[in-house]
Structure 1
Amino acid sequence: MPDNKRIVFAINSLAGGGAERVLTTLLGGSAPWRNRYDIHLALLDDEPRAYAVPDWVEVHQLDARHKLLPSLKQLRALTERLSPDATLSFLTRANIANAWAMAGRGRPWLISERVNTSAHLGKGRGAIAAKAMVRMAYPRAAHVIAVSEGVVDDLADNFGVQRARMSAIANPIDHDQIAALAAEPPAFTPAGPYIAAAGRLVPNKNMALLLRAYAKAGPDARLVILGEGPERPALERLAAALGIADRVDMPGFVANPFALLARAQAYAMPSNAEGFPNGLVEAMACGVPVVATNCASGPSEILADRPRSAVTGGIDVDAGALVPTDDVDAFAAALRRVLVEPRRSACGARARARSRAYGVEQAAANYWARIEAALAAPSRHQPDDNVSRVQGANR
């Protein structure tokens, strides 16, 4: 019997975050392929691991310390030693390192883009360099797996990636694990019914919009914002200025958010940009109605089965409501509509049913189908020596 082909997955670390959780969920769902492939995982940074990896995955711990140049060198050395038949990387720095590591090897390398790249990289001198590296590396990948059609559009329109070499595969949601965690006692108990939101407290998540919309809607329910980040002081000042500080809870990072989400009256997602909004689908899996902005990328595909451009204004959907970005009035009105019974309960039930489209088994099968297609294809799309000019930047 011939030796199994060797597949190496790569990511910055497993220190916490949506991409890290998605990768470990996919690895956990890859058991049907473990007898056909030797599966390895390269971690660029030596950090405490927030997520477990199956014991049949061989983990290689590197120590790039969040820097690109050591990531390039160390992943290149690892691939020289392992000689993988294919690689698949997650997150921008790991993707750039993957391109460098596999340059000239004549074997396929794939990348998974987890964010709306233009929005994530932002503006400024560092962003210009980062975008240049993406434009240089991504089009040379054997295949680019995006988390939504909106991310596909962004990479095609702004980074020169051919649409024929991209596909959108939505993030997997582990419904059994969510149900088990949702049944646990919550770590934090609000003083009454509440609307929940979750996300890192950074500008793109636009929790300021949510505070303004909540103040305008004036619901009986409290507002609970889960997450931590640099915007906390500004958000606390805004809540005080709006006169709602005594009705807003910000307990910070909560290890098990599902116990809180499952008990919420509704889930609010006010983001300006997403790659794929994991928190939105996870809240839906908890049976909670949702109000979300129609941001790039993902919400319109999840909630309305339409591209973002096909949704104008705000619309009601089976799971709740979809509203324009940065529109306080529309978000407030949607909150009021969704919280009214019997609509709230009906939307919650439909949200749970809709979330079933994002199961682990289907996502894992889709990822492995792309890997196997790349293995079977002629070796024609390999990165050239231009990749060697990549120098210094961090995700």
Structure 2
Amino acid sequence: MAKTDANYLFVINSLAGGGAERVMTTLLARSKDRAPDGRLHLALLDNEPAAYTPPDFVTVHQLDARGGQLASIRQLLKLVRTLKPRLMLSFLTRANVAAVAVGRLTGVRCVISERVDTASHFSTTRLKAVKMLTVRTAYRLAERIIAVSAGVADSLVENFGIARDKIVVIENPVDVEAIRAKGAEAPSIPLEPPFVVGVGRLVPNKNFRLLIDAFAASGAPGKLVILGEGPERPALVQRIAELGLTDRIALPGFAANPFAVVSRAEIFVLPSNAEGFPNGLLEGMSLGVPVISTNCASGPSEVLADEPRRPLDDKVAATYGVLTPVDRVDAMASALQLLQDPELRRRYGALAEQRARMYSPEMATSRYWAVLEPDAPTG
């Protein structure tokens, strides 16, 4: 794509740890040839400690909305009136709503990216009806919406009335070589193989209670290691104690380099109730680790079975990993038992890495810019 002298503004809540934040920095890092130095800008709505570092050719604008929607709109509006960007690209719901509002007030083009099944995430929140209406209203005003999976796209159509032709699906990228290099590093915590691993925020939607109960029911040897931090920690610690497994299940907290731990695991498990796109699943697959995932909305079925999600009654040995029904302890325990077969683990590990290589950052970046600048010449 030819260079332009226009400003491009990327918007996200913060660069605190998470899949959306990682993808944002990956996309920026591979966009240097899309605009001259100094023309790529990143607005961080909240002043939070960053887990990821944007490239030095990107100008970072640190705002301080403190999680507030109105403050996000006000502060972003001031920045946009100064920068006068050609367009905005935003990630995450609050940033998306703010970007659309500011775009309407200033006439700046606005493309938003939906990273999760927002309807599912709102299902247990206060003021659900208000939040659903806010998203429905704002998202309809965006120029285009980039969904990270077909399941997220379906949810936008079914739950928010978004026109299907406004949505384009671009799956999250995974940098297999970078992840494997990190995986080869020494882990920051002591490990005693064999062990099963899970990674993610300790929040209800990630459903690590399911993994703990399934591991206990499976009779699998070794240990279970769950990397991550969050408000569910006390409840999970209590459940582990109730099962009498404090010596076999570890919650070591957030790991700056989780790949060094995951690469040494026998099995990677994603027990979520819902995902936007399962970044952690693909990262585990990049390391050649066999995987088990709940068949949640959305993404796991597309990755592991290469087909749209359909209801499951029990575990399914799919093409690239094992799928189980959501929140079914018996099925998850059965999947863990299935992968006690060393030969099956080896086969699924090789297939997992092969599948992960289909999601390259270069391909994803090109597809993003094709949405942002559909009429621009390439090369």
Structure 2 length-normalised TM? 0.95
Task: Report the secondary structure of 2:354's partner residue.
Answer: helix
- CA 1:253 to 1:136, structure 2 compared with 1: closer, same or farther past 3 Å? same
Output the CA distance in 2 between the equivalents of 1:7 and 1:273: 32
Question: Are the aligned partners of 1:143 and 1:374 in contact in 2 as well (CA < 8 Å)?
Answer: no
The equivalent of 2:296 in structure 1 is 295
Give 3-state SS (helix, strand or coil) of 1:249's partner.
Answer: strand
How far 1:33 sits from its partner (Å)? 1.7
Q: Is the 8 A contact 1:108 1:375 kept in 2?
A: no
Indicate the residue corresponding to 1:335 in structure 2.
Answer: 336
2:5 match: 4
Q: Deviations over 1:288-334 (max 9, x none)?
A: 00010000111000100111127664310233200111111111111
Query: What CA distance in whole angstroms lies between the structure 2 residues aligned with 1:129 and 1:234?
Result: 30
Q: Distance in 1 between matches of 2:219 and 2:184?
A: 29
In the TM superposition, what is the alpha-carbon distance from 1:123 to its structure 2 partner? 3.5
Matched residue type, 1:254: A
C-alpha distance in 2, partners of 1:190/1:124?
Answer: 37
Distance 2:35 2:302 in 1: 32
In 2, are the aligned partners of 1:195 and 1:266 still within 8 Å (CA)? yes
Q: What residue in structure 2 maps to residue 34 of structure 1? A: 35
Aligned residues of 1:266 and 1:339 also touching (Cα < 8 A): no
1:374 offset after TM fit, Å?
A: 7.9
Structure 1 CA distance for aligned equivalents of residues 222 and 367 of structure 2: 40
Partner letter of residue 368 of structure 2?
Answer: Y
Q: Secondary structure at the match of 1:225?
A: strand
Give the Å deviation of 1:373: 2.2
Amino acid in structure 2 at the alignment position of 1:272? N
Task: Determine if contact 2:317/2:323 at 8 Å carries over to the other structure.
Answer: yes
| Alignment match, 1:101 | 102
Q: Does 1:60 align with 2:65?
A: no
The residue aligned with 1:81 is 82
Match of 1:244 in 2: 245
CA distance in 2, matches of 1:123, 1:325: 17
Change (3 A) 1:167 1:313: farther
Aligned to 2:231: 230
**Is the Cα contact below 8 Å between 1:320 and 1:338 reproduced in 2?**
no
8 Å contact kept, 1:29–1:364: yes
SS at match of 1:223: strand
The Cα shift of 1:76 comes to 0.8
Listed as ranges, the matches of 1:41-52 within 5 Å are: 41-52=42-53
Contact (CA 8 Å) 2:38, 2:57: kept in 1 or not?
no
Distance 1:206 1:374, change over 3 A: farther
Mapping of residues 172-187 of structure 1, within 5 Å: 172-187=173-188
**Distance (whole Å) between structure 1 residues aligned to residue 92 and residue 160 of structure 2:** 16
Amino acid of the structure 1 residue aligned with 2:96: N
Pairwise CA distance, 1:71: 0.8
Q: Which residue of 2 aligns with 1:70?
A: 71
Shift of 1:18: 1.5
**AA matched with 1:109:** C
Offset from partner CA, 1:28-68 (integer Å, 9 cap, x none) = 12133234992111111122322111121121121212211
On the 8 A contact 1:11/1:94 being kept in 2, the answer is: yes
Q: How does 1:353-372 map to 2 (within 5 A)?
A: 353-372=354-373
Identify the residue that residue 283 of structure 1 maps to in structure 2.
284
Q: Distance in 2 between matches of 1:212 and 1:3?
A: 55
Deviations 1:120-152 (A, max 9, x none): 122354222221110110011110001111100
Within 5 Å, give how 1:116-135 maps onto structure 2: 116-135=117-136
- Residue 21 of structure 2 corresponds to 20
Deviation at 1:228, TM superposition (A): 1.2
1:210 aligned to 2:211? yes
- Counterpart contact for 1:4–1:36, Cα < 8 Å: no
Name the CA distance, whole Å, in 1 between partners of 2:3 and 2:169: 32
Output one character per residue of 1:194-253: Cα deviation in whole Å (capped at 9) or x when no partner: 000011111111111111111111111211111111111211221222232221111011
**Paired position in structure 2 for 1:110:** 111
The sequence identity of aligned pairs, in percent, is 49
The Cα shift of 1:191 comes to: 2.7
Question: Which whole-Å CA distance do the structure 2 matches of 1:100 and 1:185 have between them?
Answer: 46
Corresponding residue number in structure 1 for 2:351: 350
Structure 2 counterparts to residues 147-158 of structure 1, below 5 A? 147-158=148-159
Residue segments in structure 2 that go unaligned for 5+ positions in a row? none
Secondary structure, counterpart of 1:373 in structure 2: coil
Is the Cα contact below 8 Å between 1:291 and 1:323 reproduced in 2?
yes
User: Take 1:202 and 1:2, find their aligned partners in 2: how far apart are those partners?
Assistant: 42
> Partners of 1:239 and 1:264 in 2: how far apart?
20
Distance 1:342 1:123, change over 3 A: closer
Aligned to 1:274: 275
Which blocks of at least 5 consecutive residues in structure 1 are unaligned? 377-395
1:253 aligns with 2:254: yes
Q: Which has the higher contact order (CA 8 A, sep 6+)?
A: 1
Normalized against structure 1, the TM-score is what? 0.91
Partner secondary structure for residue 201 of structure 2: coil
What is the RMSD computed on CA atoms of the aligned residues? Answer: 1.9
**Greater Cα shift, 99-108 or 284-293:** 99-108
Superposed CA deviations along residues 337-362 of structure 1, whole A, max 9, x for unmatched, are 12211110111011011001111101
